[in-house]
Every structure is written in structure tokens, then in C-alpha cells.
Amino acid sequence: MPDIVLATLNAKYIHASFGLRYLMANLGEMRERACIAEFIINQQPLEIVEAILLHEPRIVGFGVYIWNVEQTTEVVAVLKRIRPELIIILGGPEVSYETEGQTIVALADHVITGEADVKFAQVCRELLRDPDTSVSAPSESSQECLPHIMAADLPALNNLASPYELYTDDDLANRVIYVEASRGCPFTCEFCLSSLDIPVRAFNTEAFLASMQRLLDRGVKQFKFVDRTFNLHLPTSMGILQFFLDRWHEGLFLHFEMVPDRLPEQLRALIKQFPPGAVQFEVGIQTFDDATSKNISRRQNLDRLEDNFRFLREETGVHIHADLIVGLPGEGIESFGRGFDRLVKLNPQEIQVGILKRLRGTPIVRHDDEYRMVYAPHPPYEILSTRDISFPEMQRMRRFARYWDIVANSGNFTGTLQLLWRDEASPFHEFLRFSDWLHRTLRRTHMIALPVIAQSLFDFLIQESGMDRELAATTLETDWHRTPSREALSLRGKTSSTEKPAALRAARRQARHVQV
């Protein structure tokens, strides 16, 4: 049985925990006494507790993040009820800042703040040291000497053991494979934890690419780089792109986060050589408003950014996933809408509309009084209202973001979208109008079947926008049948949603209990 269990609750099964694998790889001589136990946030806490205790561990280390802190708190509380002597060690961004008052921190024996790749092993080594026996066990004296909260020294990246061999064959077949060539971020955006990092640190490129070769040899086709600024250091960026270009084969896919206003000619020349769909760039724009950018200490050259977008869309097959944030200090809905329209004209394949979150430790709190920033008290700490956006308007924007993801980002209705804002209309205002209408019609934002979305678009176009019925139906059906396996969609004779009202759907469940 392992002495150490490394555990976390992932958002989805496909997300393999990169952090746990780093901790495991750097346990040194204790690696054989440890195991990784991954769960997902919608599992029952008691099931997770049972699975962990089956290992009969002495120490359990949890990775704690904004998306799993509530569920992890419940798991830790139950573990401590059943096994009070079990040593719980926490790490991760959610418990690295503002630790006072956090229930999960109070429950745990120790908390390691910062990058714990090396520190976790040091703490476990101290806790399991018992010079009087041949078998190590948690030492009460060692535990008493260790503080409750410990800050990890920044590890030397090139001294870290590689985590990549810890991806199992099952991981490679079924999960997202995360990799990193660097850590840190040069920017100081106040809403982001990366703003607290020291300047970017890079792994040795030769050693990193050797690890990538081993993953390729094992059959990995999709690589998700977690580097905050992939294209910051030109020689490294070019070396990585050339490495994969030289080894490109059908199905290979690379995801990078990039600095939107930095794309020199050398990089452009390499990017152009990749086939369509082989590369995705996640581009954090966040706002087009200069005053808002200054408020959050964000620097970017918008002219250069727009030129880079035009290049990527017109001369490459790169898939662009661009981010905008609602609720930044000083930005209202009209300002956000102008930025949204500007981004739509740049034609990225996806626009992720995010709602501002107040991550623990980030300096954006300095704006709370002036801009009346009100955040939800529980994770993910989303903004509820600001001086410039009231709570009802913020709710409208939440629905806008959700519906945009379903309709636009899904790629299911690319042609139909153009009908919503033809004749030089504002894409933002037209889609907001559709969003408001859709919510009035369906009264929900989740669990909406795709045929219902298609029918709703049709109804809105002919009823609210006065569009020619034949044009709307033909465009929607063309979008629909771009996926060959779908059943036929007929819209011309229908002008209302095909879905049963929510009350009638719910009644079916009750009806089953009274059947004779």
C-alpha cells in the first residue's frame, strides 16, 4: 500500500492533472511509495473518500483549484472525520493566497503555497522520517516542527524531473496531454495570477523536445501547451514549431497561448507551412478599450494585433480562439460591445466571452471601491455587478456568453450567424437581441438540444427580424447538413419551438410513479 496518495478532482475525465504528475516525478526515492488518484468534480464525495482510503495512505496531497475547492473541502472534511491521524497536505493556486478564513485550509495539516514540485517531496520526506524503525511512519515530532502554511522556493526548472513518462497509455488514448516549455508571464494583468509571477523561465529546449519526441513515439497526436506566452522568445518558439513541422503527420494538433501583438516574420513563415486545422492559438485580448486596459495594467498594440489576425485568417489555416472579458473595471456594456464587434470583424473561429473572476491574490481588488466591484462570495467568484454594469445587465451578459458558445463557438451555425447581423448591423447588439429573445422563449441556458437551437434561430429570423422564410430555412439546413450523420431538418412549415414546455417534460417523471 502506498504511503502517499496524490489526489485531485478534475473538471472532466479528459483533463489529466499535470500538477500531480510533476509532484510524482519529483518524489525521488519516495516515488515507489506513492500513487496518483484522480477524480472528477461530479463524483460523490463519499465515493472519493472510499477510493482514497482503500490505499491506506499516511499522507494525502490534494491539488486545489478554483473549480474544485468546494468539492475538495467536503472530501477533506470527511477524511478527517474517518481518519483524524491522516495527514492532509494542500497545494495549488486556490490555497496559495489569502489562506486566512478558508475552511479547507483550517481542515488541512499543511499547506504549500507556490510551485510545490520540490517542496512537497521535502515535506513528505520529513513527515515520514522515523530513525528508530526500519519502516518510515508519520512522525509526530516532525509534524509539529513543520508549519501549517509553507511557502515553496521557486524550483530551478532544469533540475526538475520530467512528468511526461507518467502519462499512461490510457491517458494518451483518452485525455488531453498537457506540456510546457516555460513558466511565468511577462505581463501584469491584474485579473490573472500570472501577474504575480517573476519573469518567464524556460525549460531547456533540447531536453523538452526530447520529451516531446518520446510522446510522439508513444502515439500522442494532440499537444496542449500551457505556457502563458508561447511566442514570447522567438528562438524557442521557432525551435518548437520547426520540431513539430518536421514530424507532422495526419491528425497532429498543437494548442498554444500566444501574445496577440507579437508575430514576427520568422514565425509567420513557419506557421504558414502547417496544414489547416493543425494549430490552434488561444489569444487573450480581454478588452479593446484603452482606459480599461490601463485600469488592469494590460499592455498590447491593437494595430499590430489586428494585422496579425488578418495574416492568420487570410494566409494560414490556424484556428483562433480569442478571449474577451465582461465586467472589467471601468468597462460598460456599450464599450464591451464595440470591442466585440471589432473582434467579430477580425473573424476568429471562436470568441470566448468570459465573465470576470476575482482570483485569490490578484491585485484587481484595488478597484473594488472606485468601480463598485461586487463578486460572488463562492467559487468561481464571478463578478455580480460593477459601477458600469448592474446585476440584471450582468445576468444578460452571462446568458449572452452561454448562448454565443452554443450557437457561434460550436461551429454549427456559421452561415446562419451572418444572417443575424447583415446590412452592417452590430453583431453584438443583434446577438444580444437574439439572446434576450431566446431566454424569454426557453427560460434556460443549459440542456438545450441542438434541433431546438436550430428551430429557435429560424423562428427568431422570420418572426423578429422579418427575414425571408426560404432564405432562413435554406441557410439553416445548409449549416445543419455540413455534419453528414444528422437526420433531416425541416423548418419551412414550422414557426415555433419543437420542444415540449419545461413543466410538461418534468411531469413525465411524476407520471411514472402513478402508473397502474
Q: What is d(CA 481, CA 475) in angstroms, rounded to the nearest whole number?
A: 10
Whether residue 434 sits in one domain with residue 351: no
Q: Specify the higher pLDDT residue, 490 or 356.
A: 356
> What letter would DSSP give residue 15?
B
Query: Beta partners for 7?
Result: 37, 62
Residue 195 has pLDDT above 90, yes or no: no
- Yes or no: say if 271 and 318 are a contact pair by the CB < 8 Å rule: yes
Q: What was the pLDDT predicted at 130?
A: 59
Q: How far apart are the first and last CA of the chain?
A: 53
Domain boundary among 354, 389, 424: 389
Worst-scoring range by mean pLDDT, 141-145, 254-258, 278-282, 337-341? 141-145
Q: What is d(CA 442, CA 148) in angstroms, rounded to the nearest whole number?
A: 50
Domain boundary among 156, 190, 221: 156
Residue 288 has pLDDT above 80, yes or no: yes
Helices marked H in 148-264:
169-174, 205-217, 234-246
Q: What is d(CA 31, CA 26) in angstroms, rounded to the nearest whole number?
A: 8
Whether residue 368 sits in one domain with residue 471: no
Whether residue 76 sits in one domain with residue 141: yes
Residue 19 has pLDDT above 70, yes or no: yes
Q: What was the pLDDT predicted at 510?
A: 30
Q: Indicate whether 313 belongs to any domain.
A: yes
Share of the chain above pLDDT 70, in %: 92
Output the CA torsion sign for 400, 406, 409, 411. negative
pLDDT digits (tens, 9 = 90+) for 147-181: 999 999 999 999 999 999 999 999 999 999 999 99
Other Cβ atoms closer than 10 A to 190: 18
Whether residue 241 sits in one domain with residue 382: yes
Whether residue 127 sits in one domain with residue 23: yes
Q: What is d(CA 26, CA 46) in angstroms, rounded to the nearest whole number?
A: 30
Whether residue 26 sits in one domain with residue 131: yes
Q: Specify the higher pLDDT residue, 484 or 477.
A: 477
Cα angle at 357 between 356 and 359, to 5 degrees? 145
Whether residue 454 sits in one domain with residue 369: no
- CATH, residue 140: 3.40.50.280
Other Cβ atoms closer than 10 A to 228: 22
Whether residue 265 sits in one domain with residue 147: no
Per-residue cell: 164: 511526461
Query: Beta partners for 222?
Result: 253
Residue 368 has pLDDT above 90, yes or no: yes
> What letter would DSSP give residue 176?
B
Whether residue 68 sits in one domain with residue 129: yes
Helix (H) or strand (E) holding 434: helix 427-442
Q: Indicate whether 404 belongs to any domain.
A: no
Long-range pairs of 420-428 with CB within 8 A, sequence gap ≥ 24: 420/461, 420/465, 426/337, 426/341, 427/340, 427/341, 427/344, 428/336, 428/337, 428/338, 428/340, 428/341, 428/344
Per-residue cell: 463: 418572426
Q: What is the DSSP string of 340-401?
A: HHHHHHH--SEEEEEEPB--TT-GGGGGTTTTT-EE-SSTT-BEEE-SSS-HHHHHHHHHHH
Q: Indicate whether 401 belongs to any domain.
A: no
Per-residue cell: 112: 504549500
Domain boundary among 324, 355, 389: 389
Q: Indicate whether 240 belongs to any domain.
A: yes
Residue 95 has pLDDT above 90, yes or no: yes
Q: Indicate whether 172 belongs to any domain.
A: no
485 in helix, strand or coil?
coil
Total number of domains constituting the chain: 3
pLDDT digits (tens, 9 = 90+) for 39-91: 999 999 999 999 999 999 999 999 999 999 999 999 999 999 999 999 999 99
Q: What is d(CA 98, CA 361) in angstroms, rounded to the nearest whole number?
A: 6
Q: Indicate whether 165 belongs to any domain.
A: no
Q: What was the pLDDT predicted at 9?
A: 98
Q: Indicate whether 98 belongs to any domain.
A: yes
Whether residue 509 sits in one domain with residue 469: yes
Does the pTM surpass 0.85? The reply is yes
- CATH, residue 285: 3.80.30.20
Q: Indicate whether 57 belongs to any domain.
A: yes
Whether residue 193 sits in one domain with residue 117: no
Q: What is d(CA 73, CA 9) in angstroms, rounded to the nearest whole number?
A: 11
Whether residue 262 sits in one domain with residue 113: no
pLDDT digits (tens, 9 = 90+) for 196-220: 766 789 999 999 999 999 999 999 9
pLDDT digits (tens, 9 = 90+) for 396-449: 999 999 999 999 999 999 999 999 998 788 999 999 999 999 999 999 999 999
The total number of residues shown for the chain amounts to 516
Task: Look up the domain containing 383 and give its range.
Answer: 177-389
Q: What was the pLDDT predicted at 137?
A: 47
- Sequence-separated (6 or more) residues with CB below 8 Å from residue 353: 324, 326, 340, 397, 400, 401, 404, 405
Q: Taking Cα atoms as reference points, which of 370, 213, 343 lies closest to residue 285?
A: 343
Q: At what angle do helices 450-463 and 469-480 cross, to 10 degrees?
A: 160
Share of the chain above pLDDT 90, in %: 84
